[in-house]
Structure 1
Amino acid sequence: MIRLYRLAGDDDAAKRQFAACTELFQAELGVTPGPAVQAAMRARRIRIDGPTDAASVAATVEAGLAAVRAGAIEAGVQSLRTGVAMADAGSHDLLRVTSRLALSEAHIHSLRGQDEEGVAALHVAEQVSMTAGELGLAADARAEIGYVDSSGHAMTGRSCG
C-alpha cells in the first residue's frame, strides 16, 4: 500500500500507512520495518517532460521488457513504469493498456512479493480497454487478474510494503 500511495503521488496517505505499518511491526513483532518497506517509502511518481508519441512509448516499454527478460528486473520495471506514465501523458489508450499489461506481467511473474502494483495496473488496463472498446485486451487483463486470484500471488490481508 505504501508503494501504491507513493506512485499515485499521495504522500500523506503513504506516510499514514508507513506509520501504521511501523506501529504494527513494533507491537506484534518487536521490530521496525525492514528494507522492503523502507524502499516502498522511497518510491516516486514518474513525471514526464519528454516526448509521449506512440513510437517513444512503445520503445520504452520494449526496452523494459527486454531488461526484465535479461534478468535486470528492477531496471526493467522502472522502464515499464516510465512507459505507463508516457502512455498516460500522451493519452494513447492502446498503449496505456499494453504498457500496464507488460508492467503487471513483470511484477506478477518476476517480482514475488510486489504484486500489488501489478494487480492495480491490471485493473486500470481492464477499465481503459473497456472504455476504448478493446475487448480482446480487456479479456487479457481479466485473464491475468484471474491468474493472480487463483494462484494467490497477490498480497492479501494487512500489507505494509
Structure 2
Amino acid sequence: MSFYSLSARLINGEEISMSNYKDNVLLIVNTASKCGFTKQFEELEKLYQKYKDKGFKILGFPCNQFGSQDPGTNEEIAQFCSLNYQVSFPMFEKIDVNGKNTHPIYQYLKSHASGFLGTKNIKWNFTKFLVNRQGEVVGRYAPNITPFKIEEDILQYLK
C-alpha cells in the first residue's frame, strides 16, 4: 500500500485521494480547537502561505481523542479555523488517530514513523508528520515542536 492509495473526506464531506497531493511535500497534523497548542494554527498558516507555491501542503485532521479538545461538529471546526486563524490549507473531517477506529491515513503514518522511544500511538494534539514528494514519511514531530522549528526540514524536501 502506498500513501497515495489512501483517501479522506475534506471537512465539507468531499472525498479526496491523497494522490491529489503527489509531488508535494506534506505536513500532516492532528489538530484541536481547544488545546494549549491550538495557537500553532497561526504558524502552520504562515508556513503554508510562504511555501504553497513551491509544492508544500498542510493537511489538518481534527481529532477529539485528547482531552475532548475538539468537541465541535465539522462545520463548527471549519468556522473556528477560518475565523480565528484564517486557515486556508485543507482541513479534513474529524477522525480518530488511535484505537480501533484509527483512520487509514494515520495507520499508515504511524506505521512508517515511530514516536518517542519507538511508540506508535499519537500522544497528543498537533503531532506532525512530514511526507516527501514521493509519499514517504520522513519525519514525525511531537506536539511541542512548533511548525517554525520544522521549517528547515521542510525546505530540505522542497529542493
TM interval, shorter chain, is under 0.3
Higher strand fraction: Structure 1 or Structure 2? 2
User: What's the TM-score, normalizing by structure 2?
Assistant: 0.27
Which entry has the higher C-alpha Rg, 1 or 2?
1
User: What's the TM-score, normalizing by structure 1?
Assistant: 0.26
